[in-house]
Amino acid sequence: MRSRIWILVGGVVVAGVLVGFFVTRFMNPTPEQITATSTSATIQGKPVVNFTLTTVGTIGYGPHPAWVSYLPTTYLKVPAGAVVHITIDQQDSPSGLRNPYFSLVRGTVNDEMTVNGKVVQAIDPTTPAHTFTVPDLGVSVPLEGISGSATQNVVEFDFVVPDQKGLFRWQCFVPCGAGTLYGNGGPMQTLGYMAGELQVG
């Protein structure tokens, strides 16, 4: 009798684990992580690694095809102590900032970025479509929205990550979640769209 009870308990535990796996893996999938591409360059004596991302007004597929998004993913991995060089092909129209502070380039090498090859340290706060902001690293870069016949603005910047392993949340600080309360819901709060994770180490 006791052995039957233990078999039943074991079966319930196994079933619970399988249900938990199903819920976390299939009901809430995590996009694939991309690893930075290594280069032979150095800045300030540190190795430089590269990412290329794209911002779009609508992702066009998945459970929320009309949501704004970073592509190909917002899950990034870099080696500890590296300089991260990011190129963003910004293909969305401007939404503007509620807080002009985020129009400043902060936390990058020399507190600057390039927009279509031009070095800048700030942009007009009415023109950003998005930002790339890593609060715990003090990094924030405004991404100028496209206008006229332009199809994209190419934004490039570098920042240094810590020498220790860590996981850092990053996101857009332009309220671009159309149809949500004050524009701050939906893609703004969802990993894989306008929010992501930077794994260091």
Asked if pLDDT for residue 21 goes beyond 50, the answer is: no
Asked if pLDDT for residue 102 goes beyond 80, the answer is: yes
Task: Please say whether the structural domain 32-200 has been given the CATH code 2.60.40.420.
Answer: yes
Distance CA 97, CA 17 (A): 45
Q: Where are the domains of the chain?
A: 1-30, 32-200
Asked if pLDDT for residue 189 goes beyond 50, the answer is: yes
Q: What is the pLDDT of residue 162?
A: 97
Distance CA 198, CA 191 (A): 11
Asked if pLDDT for residue 74 goes beyond 60, the answer is: yes
Q: What tokens appear for 92 in the block?
A: 């969305």
| Tens-place pLDDT, residues 135-158 | 999 999 999 999 888 999 999 999
Confidence tier at 26 by pLDDT (50, 70, 90): very low
Confidence tier at 90 by pLDDT (50, 70, 90): very high
Contact 9, 45 (CB under 8 A): no
Q: What is the pLDDT of residue 32?
A: 81
| Tens-place pLDDT, residues 120-139 | 999 999 999 999 999 999 99
- Three state DSSP letters for the chain: CHHHHHHHHHHHHHHHHHHHHHHHHHHCCCCCCEECEEEEEEECCEEEEEEEEEEECCCCCCCCCCCCEEECCCEEEECCCCEEEEEEEECCCCCCCCCHHHHECECCHHHCEEECCEEECECCCCCEEEEEEEHHHCEEEEEECCCCCCCCEEEEEEEECCCCCEEEEEECCCCCCCCCHHHCCHHHHCECCCEEEEEEC
